[in-house]
Structures are given as C-alpha cells and as structure tokens.
Amino acid sequence: MTTLTDGAVLRRARPGDETGILACIQALADYEREPDAVDNTAEMIRETLFGDDPRAFAFVVDGGDGDIRAIAIWFLTYSTWTGRHGIWLEDLYVHERFRANGYGVALLAALAGECVDRGYPRLEWTVLDWNEPAIGFYRALGAQAMEEWTTRRVTGDALTALAARA
C-alpha cells in the first residue's frame, strides 16, 4: 500500500472494490469508443480477482471510502524465449477528473515493481493507435512500441468454427 501525494492510496484490489473497478472498465470502454462492449459484471470481477483460483489481478487507487479513482488490471504471461513469466497490463484507467495526479505513473511503477520483485523481464500492453495522449505518456516512461508485431484476435463465429476443427 502506497499513499500518494493527494492522500489517495494505491493498493491491491480487494473484495468490495468490484463496483468501482467495473465503473473504471466502463469509463475506459466509453473513452475507447466502445460503450456497449462491456459484458462484465461486479460478480464476474469478484470471481475473477478474488475467487478460489484467480488468474487476473488488480491494483486500484482508492480516494477513501472505496472511491476507486484508477485501476490497473493485469495477468501473467510466459515467454518461451526468456523462459520466464511477465506481466500483461490489460487495462490502465484513471478517471478523467483525477488525471495529472500521478496515478498512472504510480500504477505502472507498481507493476514494474511486481516484475522486478518476481524476476519477470517484461511488462507489456497494447494501446490504440489513435490514443496520442496515452502513447505520449507511455513513451515518456520509456515504453517502446513493438511496431513489427500486430495483435490478432478470433471471436464469435470464427472462434466457434476454429474450435470445430479440433
């Protein structure tokens, strides 16, 4: 747990944070021009982050009384080349009214600390190519674009058709 300059606290997510985390996820979807894309629920978040075998994790910035102002949701990756795990940052979001308080830097620093403490050589994420404010922010922190790599995704009918080939 880290107290930030404005008195907010950066900490690991805990049961009871689900509604605030979901609000951040929805706000991020809205920002990314996909307001109807979120199917997640507070119950699903509870099971994912706090169930018997969590596979995803989160840090939050709590302004007090459960006022979740920012989130970093992440999970482990594995590199066959390094032979070690890494961290994939799925979502980083700071509510607009709290930007410029250092929350984004603090959340990324916490994730970098997880990597260093665990001996993980990589912290990775994607950013939309039109999100210039985020790209500039990440660049200023030393993040490098992996421009030779492109993300691929299979969903919906294509996923079902591919599975049928098994």
Active site residues: 138
User: CA 38 → CA 26, 28, 41, 103, 143, distances in Å?
Assistant: 7, 10, 8, 23, 27
Instruction: Label residue 70 exposed, middle or buried (CB < 10 Å: 0-12, 13-18, 19+).
Output: buried
Q: DSSP labels for the chain?
A: -EE-TTS-EEEE--TT-HHHHHHHHHHHHHHTT-TT-----HHHHHHHHHSSS---EEEEEE-STT-EEEEEEEEEEEETTTTEEEEEEEEEEE-GGGTTSSHHHHHHHHHHHHHHHHT---EE----TT-HHHHHHHHHTT----TT-------HHHHHHHHHT-
